[in-house]
Amino acid sequence: MHSPDVTAVFDLPDEAATQLLGENLAVAIAPGLVIFLEGDLGAGKTTLARALIRALGHTGPVKSPTYALVEVYVVSSLYLYHFDFYRFESPEEFLDAGFGEYFNDASVCLVEWPDKAAGCVPSPDLRIHLQHAGSARVAALAASSERGASCVRTLTSIREGGNSCATPDRR
Ligand SMILES: Nc1ncnc2c1ncn2[C@@H]1O[C@H](COP(=O)(O)OP(=O)(O)OP(=O)(O)O)[C@@H](O)[C@H]1O
Ligand SMILES: [Mg+2]
């Protein structure tokens, strides 16, 4: 099957820049999207997810799912599942936990540490790799489905259009 080769790279000089990327992403996502959030410890995966979830309208706390494995949000009339598989000792724990059914056309799934569930977690539409760059970060996005490509295109056009998701073009 053809995989659209749509990529983007964004410099994130500070935490606010990571949060803005999350806010922009909130405008670009659609139901059914599976996003892998990759990168080392402290790379900014939860920071990005938290900003996205808040931008969708969630007003309560957004905890890291490191211990719970998944946090569930119902926001903007969609189910959003935020996973963190860091603590998995084997990928089969994904199946044992019954997480497979969370990945469906009505949900958005954000997955930190997807490698820990390799071979069991469904493949992503979009991979966002966050990397340390000195004290800053760089985000590299790569789509691997049409749904993911559409998300990257929307995100790129939002960011080229003034770095804000909803700024009207008037004073
Ligand atoms: N662009 C950035 N520049 C500098 N610091 C950042 C940037 N983005 C996030 N941070 C900071 O880096 C830290 C990232 O923590 P966060 O919990 O988001 O990482 P994580 O990738 O989810 O880690 P873990 O693998 O442990 O779950 C936070 O202290 C945050 O303030
Ligand atoms: Mg995290």
List, for residues 92-121, the tens digit of each pLDDT value. 999 999 999 999 999 999 999 999 999 999
Q: Is residue 39 part of a domain?
A: yes
Instruction: Compute the average pLDDT of residues 24-48.
Output: 97
**Among 27-41, 56-70, 77-91, 154-168, whose mean pLDDT is lowest?**
154-168
For residue 136 and ligand 1, the question of a CB distance below 6 A is answered with yes
Residue 35 pairs in a beta bridge with 110, 126
Q: Are 140 and 128 in contact (CB under 8 A)?
A: yes
Mean of all residue pLDDT scores within the chain:
92
For residue 11 and ligand 1, the question of a CB distance below 6 A is answered with no
56, amino acid identity:
L
CA of 58 to the centre of ligand 2 (A): 18
pLDDT, position 4: 59
What are the structure tokens assigned to 56, written together?
Answer: 């969708």
Q: Is residue 80 part of a domain?
A: yes
Q: Which of 162, 150, 159, 136 is nearest to 18 (CA)?
A: 136
Instruction: Compute the average pLDDT of residues 87-93.
Output: 97
pLDDT, position 161: 86
Q: Is residue 171 part of a domain?
A: no
pLDDT, position 170: 45
Instruction: Compute the average pLDDT of residues 118-130.
Output: 98
Q: Quick one: which ligand is closest to 38's CA?
A: 1
How far apart, in whole angstroms, are the C-alpha atoms of residue 121 and residue 100?
Answer: 7
Structural domain containing residue 68: 7-160
> Tell me, what CATH number does 108's domain have?
3.40.50.300
How far apart, in whole angstroms, are the C-alpha atoms of residue 74 and residue 32?
Answer: 14
What are the structure tokens assigned to 100, written together?
Answer: 């497979």
CA Rg value for the chain: 15
Residues lying with their CB under 5 A of ligand 2, a single-atom ion: 45-46, 64, 112
**DSSP reduced 3-state for 23:** helix
Domains in the chain, number: 1
DSSP summary character for residue 4? -
Q: Are 76 and 56 in contact (CB under 8 A)?
A: yes
Asked if pLDDT for residue 31 goes beyond 50, the answer is yes
Question: pLDDT category, 2, cuts 50, 70, 90?
Answer: low
Q: Is residue 112 part of a domain?
A: yes
Asked if pLDDT for residue 168 goes beyond 80, the answer is no
Alpha-helical (H) ranges within the chain are 15-28, 45-55, 92-96, 146-160
How far apart, in whole angstroms, are the C-alpha atoms of residue 139 and residue 35?
Answer: 13
